[in-house]
Amino acid sequence: MTRRRPNDRQCRLAPVHRVSHTPTQATVHSTDDDVPMTPTELRSSLSLSLIFAMRMLGLFLVLPVFALEAAGLPGGDDPARIGLAMGIYGLTQGLLQIPFGMASDRFGRKPVIVFGLVVFAMGSFLAMSATTLTELTLGRAIQGAGAISAAVTALLADQTRDEVRTKAMTLVGVSIGFVFALSLIIAPLLNTYIGLPGLFALTGVMALLGIAVVLKLTPPESSGFEARQKGRLALVLRDAPLMRLNLGVFVLHAVQLAMWVAIPAMLVQAGLGKDHHWQVYLPTVVASFFVLRATLYPLERRGYLRAVFLCSVGLIGLVQLGLLWAGSQAPSLTVLAWLLFAFFCGFNILESCQPSMASRVAPLHARGTALGVFNTLQSLGFFVGGALGGWLVRTQGAQAVFATCAALMALWLAAAWPMRAPARRASGNPSPTHGSAAR
């Protein structure tokens, strides 16, 4: 029997897959330009992005007004204590992300997420009732103890394929970027009507609503969950690619929070009242989302993820130098707006691709543990950024903040330079509707 030879049209239309095998895993390189999400993957991505957004709003909503409002409380005359109150959220997050991530590997993602949201809500209501800076700091610490980021990210990784992982994580990143922008816009307005206690009350209510999202909207965990092995912390800590990403997420969020100890005052010095800061934040953040869409997806498909990643790190470093220069003279509102636009461009790209890269590099049987370490460093970045930023403003001035941030970004760029974009696993992930064969 004679075999039919495929014609030229069939050869051109057939997708080509090249599979290369290593001792530990197979990787797949596909010529497909875009892999669509399944309905389950989309549902998981949207619901978990909503949970992230509702919780992160608790951090971001108070960010634009915290330093100004906390100064009116007993003990609020010390910028270093205000910075500590801002950043202690990240300290307790950092201490508990690894235990929460390991618990999600052992007991399941959803129970850990629900427990964390309850703790977060308790801290929010305590902060709402605070009458001194010490009580406010305690409330922020309990908020941070609801350390669910690793469990949420691990659940999303469990329920999506590698081919769509960056897209799924981008939805999370965009949700975080959106609530960050929203908080910068509406926080000063809400503060006028409900004050800082009202902002914390709103945060607590949203955390409770997040529990309903977990239980009702998020797809169930895979049927193969019970066979998942216990996470191995030592293995994760010895993984060099993961540790580069961990360093990066620490620096990114330390720089982010340190900047916002000084940025609101610079905008006021430039002639923009605190109730009108949204006029700078809104257009810069929205425009940065268009840059994200035009760069990250197409360039990743063409194999330029590493270049985009490193350029984004370098861009944020240049922004710090620009802010250092702007702070050395009378601040210009136009210059500050362009610098913030550049910052949001780099930040949104890194916020989208770093969790995806971490979930793809992480060992499958210890994904919750690996993402626990990743989110620990993110949370510690918040803490260090707030505390260090407040101390530098008090002792050295705002310019010292931006000089330090520029140095941190240079350190990150040097550490990240040897990185390679993670390959896609051929069969390491569970299907969005089936358990993982690897478990």
Q: What pLDDT, in 10s, does the model give residues 74-123?
A: 877 777 788 788 778 878 877 888 888 888 888 888 999 999 999 999 99
Residue 432 lies in a domain: no
Residue 429 lies in a domain: no
Encode pLDDT of 13-48 as tens digits.
344 333 333 333 333 333 334 678 888 888 988 998
Residue whose entry in the numeric block shows the structure tokens 């949001």: 344
Residues of the chain scoring pLDDT < 70: 1-34, 58, 222-232, 297, 364-365, 421-439
Residue 434 lies in a domain: no
Residue 339 lies in a domain: yes
CA distances from 47 to 138, 220, 273 (A): 30, 12, 36
pTM comes to: 0.67
Distance CA 59, CA 113 (A): 17
Determine the pLDDT at residue 405. Answer: 94
> 271 Cβ partners below 8 Å, 6+ apart?
333
Determine the pLDDT at residue 426. Answer: 46
Residue 53 lies in a domain: yes
Residue 193 lies in a domain: yes
What would you report as the CA-atom Rg of the chain, rounded to the nearest whole angstrom?
Answer: 22
Residue 14 lies in a domain: no
Neighbours of 314 (CB within 10 A): 16
**Of residues 83, 136, 394, 397, the one with CA closest to residue 254:** 83
Neighbours of 193 (CB within 10 A): 7
Determine the pLDDT at residue 8. Answer: 42
Q: Are 21 and 145 in contact (CB under 8 A)?
A: no
Residue 93 lies in a domain: yes
**Of residues 118, 117, 104, the one with CA closest to residue 155:** 104
Encode pLDDT of 163-188 as tens digits.
777 778 778 777 777 777 777 778 77
Q: Side chain identity at 387, as an amino acid letter?
A: A
**Domain membership of residue 118 as a residue range:** 44-219+239-416
Determine the pLDDT at residue 34. Answer: 62
CA distances from 428 to 151, 218, 243, 343 (A): 19, 22, 21, 35
Instruction: Report the CATH number at residue 245.
Output: 1.20.1250.20
Determine the pLDDT at residue 65. Answer: 75
Tell me how many domains the chain contains: 1
